[in-house]
């Protein structure tokens, strides 16, 4: 079967818009994959050294919306208890296959990064709304540590950033990053001293993010963007 995926991107150069259309062709029949060991073997065969996981609807089987709003309890100790409960609830949403793949990659020396949209400045108290907002690394790291343990998690690169990110010095100004995972992937490559994009695979439920990564030179795996699904080994059939 031949499947075409076409992406058109626009970049501004002075007053001119430049349109680039990239077509990707998949000629091979997808291979049925059933385990973490099979997946890692595929990665090793293709020279993959870095696996970049999206979080929402990928490593997690639900969407956090980028951050969770928690009603502010009456005391700090009560807030700690609520956060602890929140981390446990989030941990239940990590897919079994995704967790198994993280463990297998770590064992085989394949680097792991979490590359997801999230705004760190959204974390904190909003006294006016009586809410405590938590998202990105402050939410995901403690949740997944409950499952993978500190040894593995301490070796995972975590890059959570929205395409429009608020400047710390000028809160009303926004720094514009690409509307895909190219910035996140580059940060992960820098962290692990990888300079060849062909040694990187992005696992994401967004087809446009995967296409952009492939245009960048990376490999990609598309996860069905469905609530309750998340990454499963059968999705590795889309590896290309």
At 210-240, the pLDDT tens digits run 999 999 999 999 999 888 889 999 999 989 8
pLDDT at position 67, please?
82
Which residue reads 């309890």 in tokens? 73
Q: Which positions ≥6 away from 91 have C-beta within 8 Å?
A: 143, 144, 146, 147
How buried is residue 102: exposed, middle or buried, by Cβ count under 10 Å (0-12/13-18/19+)?
buried
pLDDT at position 174, please?
60
- Whole-prediction pTM value? 0.82
pLDDT at position 171, please?
55
pLDDT at position 168, please?
54
Backbone angles phi, psi at 148, to 5 degrees: -85, -25
Which residue reads 């490593």 in tokens? 59
| 8-state DSSP, 29 | P
Nearest to 60 by CA among 86, 99, 88: 99
The upper half-sphere exposure of residue 33, i.e. CA atoms within 13 Å in the direction of its Cβ, equals 24
With a cut of 70, which residues of the chain have pLDDT below it? 1-31, 119-129, 164-176
pLDDT at position 75, please?
79
Alpha carbon distance 209, 141 (integer Å):
22
The upper half-sphere exposure of residue 137, i.e. CA atoms within 13 Å in the direction of its Cβ, equals 14
pLDDT at position 187, please?
95
Which residue reads 């602890």 in tokens? 84
pLDDT digits (tens, 9 = 90+) for 91-109: 999 999 999 999 999 999 9
Specify the pairing of strand 131-135 against strand 67-71.
Answer: antiparallel
């Amino acid at each position: 079967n031949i499947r075409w995926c076409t992406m058109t991107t626009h970049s501004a150069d002075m007053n001119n818009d430049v349109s680039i259309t990239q077509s990707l062709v998949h000629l091979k029949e997808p291979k049925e994959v059933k385990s973490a060991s099979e997946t890692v073997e595929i990665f090793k065969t293709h020279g993959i050294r870095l696996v970049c996981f999206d979080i929402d609807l990928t490593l997690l089987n639900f969407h956090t919306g980028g951050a969770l709003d928690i009603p502010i309890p009456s005391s700090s100790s009560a807030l700690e208890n609520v956060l602890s409960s929140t981390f446990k609830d989030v941990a239940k949403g990590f897919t079994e296959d995704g967790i198994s793949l993280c463990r297998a990659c770590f064992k085989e020396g394949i680097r792991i990064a979490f590359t997801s949209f999230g705004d760190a400045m959204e974390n904190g108290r909003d006294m006016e709304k009586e809410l405590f907002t938590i998202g990105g690394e402050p939410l995901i790291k403690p949740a997944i540590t409950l499952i993978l343990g500190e040894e593995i998690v301490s070796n995972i690169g975590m890059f959570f950033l929205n395409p429009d990110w608020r400047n710390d010095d000028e809160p009303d100004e926004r720094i514009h990053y690409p509307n895909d995972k190219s910035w996140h992937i580059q940060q992960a490559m820098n962290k692990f001293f990888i300079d060849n994009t062909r040694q990187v695979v992005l696992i994401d439920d967004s087809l446009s993010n995967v296409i952009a990564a492939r245009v960048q030179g990376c490999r990609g795996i598309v996860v069905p963007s469905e609530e309750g699904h998340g990454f499963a080994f059968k999705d590795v059939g889309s590896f290309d």
